[in-house]
Amino acid sequence: KKGQELLIKNLILSIELKPKIIDVQQDTSAVSNAVVDQLISNDSIVEYKVRSGETLYSISKRFMVPMEVLLTRNNLSTTALKPNQVITIPLKREMKIKPRPHILRIPDSTEQISNQDSLMDDKKFQAIVFLPFNLDTIDTKGYRSYALEYYMGAMLAIDSLKSYPVNARFRFIDYLAKSMPFDSLLQKGELDSVDLIYAPFDFQLSKKLAKWSLGKSVKIIYPLASHHALNLVRDSLDLEKSTAYFMNPNTSSLLEVMAKHLSTRDSVQIVLIRTTDSAEIVVYNEFLRLTQYLDLPTKIQEATFGNYTYFSKKKGLKTVYVLLSKCSPSIDELLKFSSETENVEVYGLKEWKKCSAFLKTTENLKGYRFPNPSYLSYDNPNVKFIHKKYRKSYNSDLTKMACLGFDATLNMFLYALYDIRLTEGLVHKFEFNNSGENHINTDAFMLEFKDLEEKLIDK
């Protein structure tokens, strides 16, 4: 979390997935015991700055360290803590990443999973995962906690890969390390023999990586939605196949998900509120273009902020307003109008949760609906299963960042290297479209944000 500072020893080690021949029955698979590697040998130490509202008890639960240990370690005579107070936390053995068995290759199941030529017995893939551990400097921006959560989710995904005929080696690299600068990794050729790279969260470093990869056959997975701003365009003269893989849908794909959802609405009139902003006009035109290919229940009507209220006066018919703007005053005006008017619903963008002040007030009675790349539900059976494993391994609750690491390591890895397409992740849905330039996930969730909570409206 923001403000959390971690000093982690011996965290980033290579994980090698070695093939091992096993007997497979027709109805069951008998897996023999595998040799395991010790991934972490030393305890980790945390220097933590206390945030407002936190207690020694809550910190004890978060880091899985008994309160008595925290009291003794920090020479505290009371459990009372003050905001910005710095305490040291010796992580117990429960926080160590437990040894993982090697991924097993099941030869008899290979053709049943995929008939792709890439499933070769002697092919071992090399995968690099860049994460912002920031191990050898002071973590002023709180990146370490996000990197650690992603890493723990990735480790569970590596466990899950044993159900597939994979043969690969994962290496996790701290791209913020001063001892191993990112630019040096690109220039010295250490990545030239790598098959798959997970791009850094940092936009500028991802931009450098994309430029470095031009003319190379290495595949790059971009795990964040913000990576679409790279505007990658492949030079068809350099490569026969696209090598960029985006885990999250771009703006056009999100608009299409919303348009498809609206096509299922009956007995409503759909009103698109236009603005005069030139960048937003491009988005409006894209939305209208996408709706041309759908069987909408009614023709989309266009309005402005000067006349949009007129459409809600039609009795006996619900009005659905679509606003594709990020302008806070405009958003708040429409949401307030919706809360005060019957038979009105609002559809917008995921960014509203951050830029709208009205959404966070008690006056907001209805909320709004929007397409979103990801959604975490602890009621999801797959999430429940992984959540239990996560708690057992780390004595902590599964986070959305950990789920992102899991989906990127399992779903994206299998698709990029083996063309195995798993349509469901922990927090993502997957449906890939190869535009001829890039592989882009085009699926997303339709959510409703109301009472400061997200709820799934389309399953």
Tens digits of per-residue pLDDT, 6-43? 555 444 445 555 443 222 222 222 222 222 222 222 34
Under a CB-based contact definition with an 8 Å cutoff, are residues 334 and 273 in contact?
Answer: yes
Judge residue 450's burial from the number of C-beta atoms within 10 Å of its C-beta, 0-12 exposed, 13-18 middle, 19 or more buried. Answer: middle
Judged by DSSP in three states, 291 sits in helix
State the DSSP code for 300. Answer: P
**Of the given ranges (16-30, 90-104, 193-207, 425-439), which has the lowest mean pLDDT?**
16-30
Judge residue 321's burial from the number of C-beta atoms within 10 Å of its C-beta, 0-12 exposed, 13-18 middle, 19 or more buried. Answer: buried
Name the residue ranges covered by the structural domains of the chain.
Answer: 12-38+95-249+378-428, 253-372+447-456
Structure confidence at residue 36 (pLDDT): 23
218 pLDDT above the threshold of 50: yes
| Residue environment code for 344-355, b if the CB has 16+ CB neighbours within 10 A, otherwise e | bbbbbbbebbee
User: Which residues are CB-neighbours of 324 under 8 A, at least 6 positions away?
Assistant: 255, 272, 280, 283, 284, 287, 348, 349
Q: How confident is the model at residue 47 (pLDDT cuts 50, 70, 90)?
A: confident
As given in the structure block, the two tokens for residue 311 are 């459409």
Among the listed residues 36, 31, 14, 329, the one whose alpha carbon sits nearest the alpha carbon of residue 168: 14
Mean pLDDT of 436-458: 90
What CATH number does domain 253-372+447-456 carry, 3.40.50.300, 3.30.1130.10, 2.40.240.10, 3.40.50.2300?
3.40.50.2300
Under a CB-based contact definition with an 8 Å cutoff, are residues 443 and 429 in contact?
Answer: yes
**Of the given ranges (4-13, 48-57, 169-178, 318-327), which has the lowest mean pLDDT?**
4-13
Mean pLDDT of 36-51: 52
What one-letter code names the amino acid at 437? E
Among the listed residues 107, 119, 1, 121, the one whose alpha carbon sits nearest the alpha carbon of residue 51: 1
263 pLDDT above the threshold of 50: yes
3-state helix, strand, coil in the chain (%, to 5): 35, 20, 50
Mean pLDDT of 98-105: 34
239 pLDDT above the threshold of 50: no
Taking CA atoms, 259 is separated from 1, 163, 341, 424, in Å, by: 35, 37, 24, 21
Quote the CA–CA distance of 178 and 346 in Å, as a whole number: 48
How far, in whole angstroms, is CA 312 from its chain's centroid? 38
- The HSE-up count of residue 408 (CA atoms within 13 Å, CB side) is 35
Q: How confident is the model at residue 122 (pLDDT cuts 50, 70, 90)?
A: low
| Residue environment code for 36-73, b if the CB has 16+ CB neighbours within 10 A, otherwise e | eeebbeeebebebebbeebebeebbebbebeeeebbee
Q: How confident is the model at residue 2 (pLDDT cuts 50, 70, 90)?
A: low
302 pLDDT above the threshold of 90: yes
Among the listed residues 96, 1, 95, the one whose alpha carbon sits nearest the alpha carbon of residue 48: 1
Work out the number of other CB atoms within 10 angstroms of the CB of residue 327: 15
Structure confidence at residue 436 (pLDDT): 63
Domains 12-38+95-249+378-428 and 253-372+447-456 share a fold: yes
Q: Which CATH superfamily is domain 12-38+95-249+378-428 in?
A: Response regulator (3.40.50.2300)
